[in-house]
Structures are given as structure tokens and as C-alpha cells.
Structure 1
Amino acid sequence: MAAETISSMAMIPRNRKRFVQNDQNVGLLLQMLDPEETKSGNKKLLLSVLINFTSCSSARKKIVSFGYLKHIKKFAEDEVTDAKKIVRKLSGNRFRSILNGLWPS
């Protein structure tokens, strides 16, 4: 039920920004994706919530910094489409930031 509430809340950009401002919120959400976490609920719903959060640059940075990207990549290897989208967004932005560092505008 909590994942459903977060999912509906994440549809509004202002709510996403507020949610991401607190490091604990992002950390707990990512923690629920841990494969060893049994009480985490619907992982596919949590992944769809994360897709909404990846539209925010600070959320992308936090997702990468918390070290749970390996769990998302594992879901992507298991052919979960939402996980593939998240990995694509996170790795694509990192590549762009490297290019921007090489050729400043």
C-alpha cells in the first residue's frame, strides 16, 4: 500500500522534488528493491516510481550514490523493462556529463 501511495505522489513534479530532498526517503525506497528484502511489496511498482524520480537530476545522483544500482541492474538483466529504462537513464546521463566535461560549452 505504501508503494501505491508513493507512486501516486510521484506523478506530481513538486512532490517528487520534495520527496528527493530528504536523503532517507530515497534510501528507503532503494532499500525496498533489495532482493533479500522480503517485506518490500511490489518491486515492479517501486521500479515505476523510480522511473518518475529519474526525471529529477538530484534523484539520479542520489540513486547512484546510495549504491543500490546493482540491484536495479539485476532486475534489468532479468528482463524487467522498467529497470532497463532506469539503467539507461542513469548511465546515459553519466556519459553526457563526461562529454560535457571534455567539451565545455
Structure 2
Amino acid sequence: MSNTIVIIRYRALPEHVDTARQEITALVACVLASEPDCSGITLLQDSADPTGFTLIETWPSREIFLGPHMQQPHIQSFIQAADRFLAGPPDISFWHPVTAA
């Protein structure tokens, strides 16, 4: 079974782009350091619109991402603080790699 790729898109409040970048970067570091199920995260910032951030994460399954991962204290803390620097909830989508037939 292949990994699940999770794409998370955030929109920062224009006046809090630096704070959003710092908070998301800190969250990524915490997830990578404390959640062995996560096998990688890439953080991107939109070069045309700096309020846009995208995370590309690799997890064993959608269920692990939505279950144990989302219940972690660092995730819950980020969610509680996010309205200070984000324009709304993230857009989260789930993908799988396509292999040649």
C-alpha cells in the first residue's frame, strides 16, 4: 500500500504573514521531531501572493493523519491560536501517488 500525500493550504492574514510563516515553520519542526508516522513535510510560500502557504505531507494513511496526528497537543494548540494569524481554516486534500502500469 502506498503512502497518502496530504496537501494543506493556508491563507495568512496580510498583516500577519511573518507570524504565520514562523508558526507554521515551528509546527512543521515539531511534527517532524515528534511524530514518526510522518515521513516528510515540504513547506511552500506562494511567490506571487505571500499570504499563501502550502504544506505537502507524507503519511501512511488518511486515517492516521485525521486520527492520531490531529489529536496531538501541538496540533490542537496550533488550531487554537491560528485565528490570530490565519484568514480561515485550511483547505486539506488527500492524494496518492500514481505508478506506471
Give the TM-score taking structure 2 as reference length: 0.29
Higher strand share: 2
Higher helix share: 1
Give the TM-score taking structure 1 as reference length: 0.28
